[in-house]
Amino acid sequence: MVRQAQNRRGSSTVADFCAAMEGIAPTALAQDWDNVGLLAGGPAAPVRRVLLCIDLAPAVVAEAVKKRANLVLAYHPPIFKPIKSLRADSRGTDAVVFECIRRGIAIYSTHTALDAADGGTNDVLASLCGIEQTEPLEYVDDPSGISDGPKFKLAVFVPAGEVERVAEAMFEAGAGRIGDYTKCAFRTAGHGSFFGSESTKPTLGRKGRLEFVDEVRLETIVPGRVLPDVIRAMLRTHSYEEPAFDIYPLKTPPARGIGRVGNLPRPVTLGSLAGKLKRATGAACVQLVGPRGRKVERAAIVAGSAGDLPFRVKLSAADVIVTGEIRHHDALTIQRSGAAAIALGHWASEKPVLRVLAQRLVALLPSVRVGESRVDADPLAAV
């Protein structure tokens, strides 16, 4: 959709870029404490050049100006806490935001949305370990994962003799599809009761007294876009004056989340895996928890700061945590568990995703020149 739209116009806008990123790393996947998406800029503004970086430092802004970039994607959000002012002479990140706005450069941040996305930060780091199949360490609610929009369960109570007629009308209106299966429904027999006033005209039984009737609870799945049509079809074919029915919003089971865990292709020593990752990421300084000669078989991947995410799985002596940075007391916890860890540096663990992201953006927005910053650098230097 994004690619077709921009090709027809021959150029792309900030809105096109946001749509492309929403397809790559839906903002709904971000942690609730995070600040992702378009942070500065107008959706209708044209985009011809995009610069990717981990941190929006002053040098990166100067590079964006020199390269005439219309948009900077900063992995870490430069606007994180509420900003009370935007001053050019500030020592905070508000100064770089001010300069981008002044220069007409839009700012987009992806952070934990890209961490959780398929093919995102953690998947790229897992692939550098040689891991092909992973699952999240912590699942997140993903409303963007609902195919064709929201879905509902519609349950209606029908006289036993009318069930198939009502069901068929609902199916024809668009209900009852699950994947490649159609006319999917569930029927439960039971007893309904009612007391009709003098103004009612009950289909079964008589008004003015408590009646019990044999009914079937008919329930089926309904896409939100056809829900009104299905309700109208059900009411049209139902014989009751006042049919009783319930509507329940549905959520898809979570499939994506933060962090990754998976088996290495073969057991390797901690030292050899650390060396491989150091070369692949260009990390200046790699720290280890555990002896270099220990054999590891499974990796828990957390790009950036590990936090308590690796502890969501039961760690064993065959496990290694691959991350950017580890707190001192968490390192002691890992040590006591018998597991191992590799800390590549916060920036170094996240940087590899930018090259993959650039390739994906070019495929979606071929008229846009996408490149990585040459001056974006780890703020911590090795000696």
What local confidence, expressed as pLDDT, does residue 10 receive?
66
Domain residue spans of the chain: 2-111+352-372, 121-141+257-349, 147-250
d(CA 116, CA 206): 59
Contact 104, 47 (CB under 8 A): no
Q: Phi/psi at 342 (nearest 5 deg)?
A: -125, 120
Strand, helix or coil for residue 119? coil
d(CA 332, CA 330): 5
Q: What is the pLDDT along the chain (383 residues), one digit of tens a residue?
A: 334 444 444 689 999 999 999 999 999 999 999 999 999 999 999 999 999 999 999 999 999 999 999 999 999 999 988 888 888 888 888 899 999 999 999 999 999 999 999 999 999 999 999 998 999 998 886 554 444 568 899 999 999 889 999 999 999 999 999 888 999 999 999 988 878 787 777 777 777 778 788 899 999 999 999 999 999 999 999 998 889 999 999 887 777 889 999 999 999 999 999 999 999 999 999 999 999 999 999 999 999 999 989 998 899 999 999 999 999 999 999 999 999 999 999 999 999 999 999 999 999 999 999 999 999 999 998 88
Domain topology for 121-141+257-349: 3.40.1390
121-141+257-349 with 147-250: one CATH topology? no
d(CA 44, CA 5): 13
pLDDT for 77-115, tens place per residue?
Answer: 999 888 888 888 888 888 999 999 999 999 999 999 999
Architecture of the domain made up of 2-111+352-372: 3-Layer(aba) Sandwich (3.40)
Q: What is the CA radius of gyration of the chain?
A: 28
**What CATH number labels 147-250?**
3.30.70.120
- With left for phi above 0 and alpha for psi between -120 and 50, is residue 218 left, alpha or beta? beta
d(CA 25, CA 315): 29
d(CA 98, CA 96): 5
Contact 323, 311 (CB under 8 A): no
Q: Which two tokens stand for residue 99?
A: 């300069």
pLDDT for 222-245, tens place per residue?
Answer: 999 999 999 999 999 999 888 999
Which residue, 327, 302, 354, is CA-closest to 129?
Answer: 302
**90 burial class (0-12, 13-18, 19+ CB within 10 angstroms)?**
middle
